[in-house]
Amino acid sequence: MIGTFALAERPGPSDASKLTATATDNKLTGTKLAVPDGDVADFAVVAVRGGTGAWLHLVDLTVSGVTRETVTTIDPTRSHARITFANAPAEPLPGADGADTVRRLLDRAAVPMAFEQVGNAQAALDMATAYAKERYAFGRPIGSFQAIKHKLADVYIAVELARSNAYYGAWALHVDSAELPIAASVARIAACDAGWLATKENIQTHGGMGFTWQMDCHLYYRRAKLLGLALGGAREWKRRLIGELRARNTPTPSLAAA
């Protein structure tokens, strides 16, 4: 079975407090945009406006009351859909009370997605490195020129940093550490940066051919841009990280008074 997560309702940063989808008496109503794999998924975890009920509901996407429309994104190799719920049967997830539930789910989703982003960045780096070794200019491989070597070295550093942060996030997720919000944010930010840099420089390394459909460079670039927005952009996760660090380093009133 294929599952997905439906959160976004409008362009811009995701904010659980501004959701308009509602669930009453186990019936869900609302519209979700750009749901990944939404056109082929069997079920979805749907975020709704809280109130006194659960914020997350499980919905069977094959039942009546669910309408799906495939939408076009920057990456045609990964399908997305606009899903409309009209009194669709929904099962509230136990313990999914409060907007913090959505944040915790995003933290857990950010870690495996960071690994996918690292894999995409590594593939782009491998492709650029292989091309730099076989493409000759002025009788030498272009990889022997400092302009190319330094560029790919920067990409390598970014990818390894993102990989390390992804492992840190995996550890925090595995042991259910209190560090998870920070670890997930750092993993997400580093993976977004590495994915963008690696796929961009892969195109540049290939020169004019890198901009053509003949090469696969654009596929990695498209995937990096898509994944960079899938759970909220890097800017949004930087704000989350700053908020976590600020909360951790703000003294409690009792300690401040002492």
Predicted confidence (pLDDT) per residue in 216-249, tens digit: 999 999 999 999 999 888 999 999 999 999 988 8
DSSP state of 76: T
Examine the domain organization and report whether 111 and 181 are in the same domain: yes
CB 102, CB 21: distance < 8 Å: no
Examine the domain organization and report whether 127 and 242 are in the same domain: yes
Last residue of a domain, one of 72, 92, 112: 92
DSSP state of 94: T
Domain that holds residue 31: 3-92
How far apart are alpha carbons 47 and 102 in whole angstroms?
7
How far apart are alpha carbons 237 and 2 in whole angstroms?
27
Examine the domain organization and report whether 127 and 86 are in the same domain: no
Examine the domain organization and report whether 112 and 219 are in the same domain: yes
Closest by CA to 198, choosing from 139, 133, 135, 120, is 120
Examine the domain organization and report whether 8 and 104 are in the same domain: no
- According to the model, what pLDDT value does residue 160 have? 98
Q: What is the CATH number of the domain that holds 154?
A: 1.20.140.10
CB 145, CB 134: distance < 8 Å: no
- Residue 77 phi, psi (nearest 5): -85, -5
How far apart are alpha carbons 31 and 63 in whole angstroms?
16
- According to the model, what pLDDT value does residue 100 have? 86
Give me the tens of pLDDT residue by residue for the chain, a chain 258 residues long: 999 999 999 888 777 778 899 998 999 999 999 999 999 999 999 999 865 566 899 999 999 999 999 999 999 899 999 999 999 999 999 988 887 888 999 999 999 999 999 999 999 999 999 999 999 999 999 999 999 999 999 999 999 999 999 999 999 999 999 999 999 999 999 999 999 999 999 999 999 888 888 899 999 999 999 999 998 889 999 999 999 999 888 776 665 555
Q: What is the CATH number of the domain that holds 82?
A: 2.40.110.10
0.85 surpassed by pTM: yes
What total of structural domains would you count in the chain? 2
258 lies in a domain?
no
Predicted confidence (pLDDT) per residue in 164-205, tens digit: 999 999 999 999 999 999 999 999 999 999 999 999 999 999
- According to the model, what pLDDT value does residue 80 have? 95
Last residue of a domain, one of 44, 62, 92: 92
- According to the model, what pLDDT value does residue 50 have? 67
Last residue of a domain, one of 57, 92, 127: 92
- According to the model, what pLDDT value does residue 172 have? 97
Examine the domain organization and report whether 150 and 227 are in the same domain: yes
- According to the model, what pLDDT value does residue 210 have? 86
